[in-house]
Amino acid sequence: MSIDNKYFPLNEVQFKELKERIGEVNMHLPDNMLGYVWNNFKLISGSIEPQPCGCSSASGHWIRAITALRNWIKEMEKNDI
């Protein structure tokens, strides 16, 4: 990827998709989004943690991932001004 890409490590299309999909997440993270959320979390955070299960005992991991993605999206938008 080019270092001129303001959405690095994503590209603009991936950023817009992430923003839209994360915006749809409320109190419940659908099972079909687990891999998508965790892979993007690892990508932006540099984490090498394996994906946790989708059960309630792993909710802290998922809250951390969603929060990190939302904060990263906000930061990217703030830098875009």
Query: 77 is written with which tokens?
Result: 């938008």
Centroid of chain to Cα 49: 14
In whole angstroms, what separates CA 50 from the centre of its chain? 15
C-beta atoms surrounding 38 within 10 Å: 19
pTM: 0.89
Convert the pLDDT of each residue in 11-61 to its tens digit: 999 999 999 999 999 888 999 999 999 999 999 999 999 999 999 999 999
Tokens 């409320």 locate to 26
Q: How far apart, in whole angstroms, are the C-alpha atoms of residue 5 and residue 26?
A: 29
